[in-house]
Amino acid sequence: MDRWNEKTAVVTGASSGIGAAIVLDLLKAGVNVVGLARRKERIDALREKIPANSANGKLYAIKCDLTQESDIKSAFNWIESNLGGTDILVNNAGIIKTMNLLDPNNTDNLRESIDTNVLAVVLASREAFQSMKKRHINGHIIHINSCAGHKIPYFVGMYPSFNIYPSTKFAVTAMTEVMRQELQNFGTKIKVTSISPGAVKTEIFKPEILELIQNIPFLDPEDVSQAVMYALATREHVQVHELIIKPIGEHA
């Protein structure tokens, strides 16, 4: 991780769960972190959790609605103007809406899911790439994907429909390979990595849903963050393309 010391990482969905865990681990490693989320105050509160004896990167919080391209572009422009640019991007933000794919009048929920889980990943990656390319930086783009982006979970009778969520994560799986090819075609050494966890106990699951699936094994957000740190710590010629992690005992 030494080569990332005092570099700038952007983490989307940084206010809680996996995103917050990634922010803290990056800060402890001496990386400066820009957290993007709608709840800016929750990112600011993470400063209280940084151990006093850690390398202590600097934390910057930006209020950003990832369903709005103008917010994304504004955030990356601020980073360019104030911090010099983006060296690491972790596309972590994602949502699951409680609905069925075939419910009537569910268009708004479907669109928000696609905009957050797919389009925001593309737009943030685009902005980060342009920053890296302009400065000739061998940066790293990481997508927090899901096992549901490789195989549809079968929880019939146990869990409400996953609706559009697996489709958005399958898109991230495909997107990772397309980006890998594009980054190669552009002649860069920028890495792109997809990290696909199984079930993780975070706020993505509403309390009533957690009640239904309380007996299945879960990962902790810190487990996913450690996978991110592993991918970032690989030598410059090594690219972790896809990393799947599951809790022991998971059947899905």
Is 165 designated active site? yes
DSSP bridge partners of 12: 36
Q: One of 60, 159, 165, 230 is an active-site residue; which one?
A: 165
Distance between CA atoms of 188 and 195, rounded to whole angstroms? 21
148: helix, coil or strand? helix
Q: Going by DSSP bridges, is the β-strand pair 32-37/59-63 parallel, antiparallel, or unpaired?
A: parallel
Distance between CA atoms of 79 and 60, rounded to whole angstroms? 10
Contacts (Cβ under 8 Å, ≥6 apart) of 29: 1, 4, 5, 55, 57, 229
Residues annotated as catalytic (active site), given as ranges: 165
